[in-house]
Structure 1
């Protein structure tokens, strides 16, 4: 392992910059402690780094610090901002995360700034402002952007004043060309590409002992690139689960602690879909201690969502879901063995074969090393937000699944859920490792078997084994061997 960071030659760095241009940034999460102290999301952090570093990656620390201080307020700055708006009538601009609420009864549109505790009841978006910015404000459940705020005085003594949105500028400092990204893959070997992906998610490739360890990390990204991939990972503490699912992509959502059915699935009172309907994945962390996993309605709704991507609420509203459901848990070391019942310590749903069958694959988190300074990226790498956006857009590309359907030969009598699980995971691997593949002959049978099909079968096989431990009638039921059509060699 390398203590100094990524072993990057000048020739490799030049190829990386030629392929991705402005999307390459020098990251040093081991030594750039002043950036970490700002607690910025990865996309904002990388943007600040790029803005204030020279061609050699040297950062103007003072300039970056002043910019963040002036432009990206902390929670402690909120009272001062509020005072300027309310007491002095100022119009204030700054970067923040914003969510929207549309009141069906009153047709009033309001917003919240979750990072500053400003709620819907104290805000308003005038209809002319809404007409101008609604497209950007409705892109996702929460949007980052440059917001401009002012004060709306009460119209009568019986009413309350509110914070008014004046304008909104979606924060996206670049455009994504998916074809260019796919083409860029052809400039690198597979091992180089794996290292590029690891750098994009803030990992130092040279911090890992083997290619197998690196590939074990990348299993976590499968729900980022393919719709409705459901996974379960059990791992020791401090292997980076929460960071990857919670910090890398603004298109996903990490649940750590308590969550209500209304927030997660559907709010009947507000007639509002939950986060499962608006995110690429929902990662449920610390499931062993999660009280909500004891809720029968949450269990049944998650099972329905994992089965067919739909949930019908008691008021007959149908929630349509493309999100993958990812269960994350820490278990004792003596339970980390797929050849025994690993789910003894987990909540009731994980003791039920019908629930487990909807989970496509299992990640052996004990194959990953604990996070250390050696694992933190230190070198030239892809902007994390750029890469996260690419993964988000790859989810909607159907060409990869069409290739998988042609490549995989189905065994006679194969179980439908096994087939779908293997194909879905294979599709995700193809997007992640071989995004340049446009037709069957663009990938060799050898590479497809080793890096897509075999890992998919292994991940699904563990779920099958655990179903047998959960119920004797499933004991000995294993997935068949899938084969591959002959293609390029």
Structure 2
């Protein structure tokens, strides 16, 4: 299978050795950054010079503590400094001036400028998303270099020096070819593809001892990577890798662990007139949910209910839309886990989630107790898909509506089915289809048996747990099962 993987994906495959090597864990790099470095420094046999790579990291991956030294080099020493960073741009509507921010270093757009000649050379990369990873080069434009019009302007801050962007190169050195990825899936059996996906997110398939259910439960965590506004709840024992997968693998998501969460931080800050986390990410994971507190429970609950239902949030007079999924992650007691979803699993969650109307808006539940506790045998040690490439593919597939069209054709919805149940099951099934069968461009590309086993049945079970918990929370939902969804057999569809 490894030879097939390398032949199909060529340069998008890297050798990852997380089981034996502590080199990258010592650097504390996210997976997408680690794999980018591996791709840059590895030879065809997966070997790299650790000293050379370490020098590159020291030179081009500064820590937050290095920012003062960088400012000294740029502003005082008048140097141009190049390093890898996450950048966002802002275009002033009134003046037409373009500025940028480096959020990881606390540099805001009010202290920066992108001059016209630089903007025209790199704008295609910078406007692709709210934030972009890449190699930035910065310099300094002192106050004296402002043209006369700015110098005569006595408005506050008009004659200030600014850090300027002098060059930018996208972090992603290749073009994402979605159609090639879809076609490559034909070369693998479903069993092999599960192993390809596990390797892409740093897990070793042999550590699961051939247990398909455990593999699939693990991969269920990837559904929000590939489907817009998919809202999930996962409760799992400690040490099953929730924080790692949601927080360290993809550059398109955000993990918030414990602490305080406000409506301003998550949705929109009225004072700063700035959209929150929900607008700049593919998914927001509230990890260690039992330890998260909310500044105003009623305010947050109302905002969440509106957003989870429609993707629209309203704060004051501001109305915004977003596509991020919301995932709640928490730990679970053994006695609750042993009940396999048939006890009150949400009693320890913050008060904001003790309302059935809010819980109903979460599409599905991940039974994290089916995922083994992290151990060395589960860490990837071998050739696998580049995590940065894989997560970029997942990000692009979010825009592909063709999979939902297939799901709408395949799922038979019974009469008088609850609308939220129908949407939840279809949305989860669509995510599974994208993840496990990206080659499915039309009905005949997947058999009814495969769709039922890997997409519909799993989506029903995930929704069924939410439905049962609603009955525990609220008598109104007690005894109400989800509709009996089935696969519609079409004469043009092969049933394997």
| Structure 1 residue 427 corresponds to structure 2 residue 435 | no
| Structure 1 residue 271 corresponds to structure 2 residue 273 | yes
Q: Deviations over 1:98-141 (max 9, x none)?
A: 23345667765443323334344443334554454444333333
How much has 1:30 moved relative to structure 2? 1.8
How much has 1:378 moved relative to structure 2? 0.5
| 2-structure distance, mates of 1:398, 1:99 | 28
1:290 aligns with 292
1:4 aligns with none
Q: Deviations over 1:143-196 (max 9, x none)?
A: 211111112212479854332222222211111111110111111111110000
Q: Secondary structure at the match of 1:380?
A: strand
Structure-to-structure mapping, 1:62-101, within 5 angstroms: 62-101=51-90
2:148 aligns with none
Pick aligned residue for 2:306 from 304, 312, 318 = 304
**Conserved 8 A contact 1:293-1:347:** no
**Conserved 8 A contact 2:261-2:295:** no
Aligned length: 477
Pick aligned residue for 1:44 from 33, 47, 61 = 33
**Conserved 8 A contact 2:261-2:294:** yes
2:138 aligns with 149
**Conserved 8 A contact 1:331-1:345:** no
Pick aligned residue for 1:114 from 90, 103, 120 = 103
2:408 aligns with 405
Q: Deviations over 1:202-257 (max 9, x none)?
A: 11111114111100101111111111111011111211111111111111111223
From the superposition, tell whether residues 467 and 475 of structure 1 become closer, same or farther in structure 2 (CA, over 3 Å).
same
Structure-to-structure mapping, 1:368-383, within 5 angstroms: 368-383=371-386
Q: Tell me whether 121-130 or 19-28 shows the greater mean CA deviation.
A: 121-130
TM-score scaled by length of structure 1: 0.92
**Conserved 8 A contact 1:137-1:143:** yes
| 1-structure distance, mates of 2:33, 2:381 | 18
Q: Secondary structure at the match of 1:151?
A: strand
Q: Deviations over 1:326-382 (max 9, x none)?
A: 111123222333111111111223321111111100011111111111111111000
Structure-to-structure mapping, 1:361-372, within 5 angstroms: 361-372=364-375
Pick aligned residue for 2:282 from 280, 283, 289 = 280
| 1-structure distance, mates of 2:94, 2:375 | 52
**Structure 1 vs Structure 2 CA RMSD:** 2.1
**Conserved 8 A contact 1:235-1:330:** yes
| 2-structure distance, mates of 1:298, 1:76 | 34
Q: Tell me whether 145-154 or 31-40 shows the greater mean CA deviation.
A: 31-40
| Structure 1 residue 57 corresponds to structure 2 residue 46 | yes
**Conserved 8 A contact 2:135-2:171:** yes
**Conserved 8 A contact 1:361-1:460:** yes
Unpaired segments ≥5 residues, structure 1: 1-11
**Conserved 8 A contact 1:287-1:293:** no
**Conserved 8 A contact 1:309-1:320:** yes
Q: Tell me whether 46-55 or 235-244 shows the greater mean CA deviation.
A: 46-55
How much has 1:447 moved relative to structure 2? 1.2
1:245 aligns with 246
| 2-structure distance, mates of 1:170, 1:55 | 24
**Conserved 8 A contact 1:251-1:279:** yes
| 1-structure distance, mates of 2:98, 2:263 | 24
Q: Secondary structure at the match of 1:289?
A: strand
Pick aligned residue for 1:140 from 129, 132, 138 = 129
1:3 aligns with none
| 1-structure distance, mates of 2:125, 2:261 | 27
